[in-house]
Structure 1
């Protein structure tokens, strides 16, 4: 099986700047997030799909409230 172009959960989470649990939460709650390919018990994420999703959903900037 050719797995070129797929990312492990840790790699996908790192590309998105989140932790692995947040990656799984995102996959379960966001219908447009790419679905993983299961190889045994391992989830592999399409690198192109993760990158495209990241471009379409830029990280929101947070600001501190000034008192």
Structure 2
């Protein structure tokens, strides 16, 4: 099985700048987020899909000053 182009959960989360739990939350709550491929008990995420999703959803930076 060729797994070239797939990321582990830790790699995908790092690429998005989030933690692993947030990655799983995105997968469950965002219909356009790429779905992982299960290999045994391991979730592998398509690198291209993760990158495309990031390009469509720029990271929001909210500072404490913005909340006032």
TM-score, normalised on structure 2?
Answer: 0.93
Residues paired across the two proteins, number:
67
Unaligned runs of 5+ in 1: none
RMSD between superposed Cα atoms in Å: 1.4
Deviates more, 1:21-30 or 1:57-66: 57-66
CA distance in 2: counterparts of 1:7 and 1:48, whole angstroms: 10
CA distance in 1: counterparts of 2:36 and 2:28, whole angstroms: 11
CA distance in 2: counterparts of 1:55 and 1:5, whole angstroms: 17
Unaligned runs of 5+ in 2: none
The residue number in structure 1 matching 2:48 is 48
TM-score, normalised on structure 1?
Answer: 0.94
CA distance in 1: counterparts of 2:27 and 2:63, whole angstroms: 26
Q: Deviations over 1:13-33 (max 9, x none)?
A: 000000000000010000000
Deviation at 1:42, TM superposition (A): 0.3
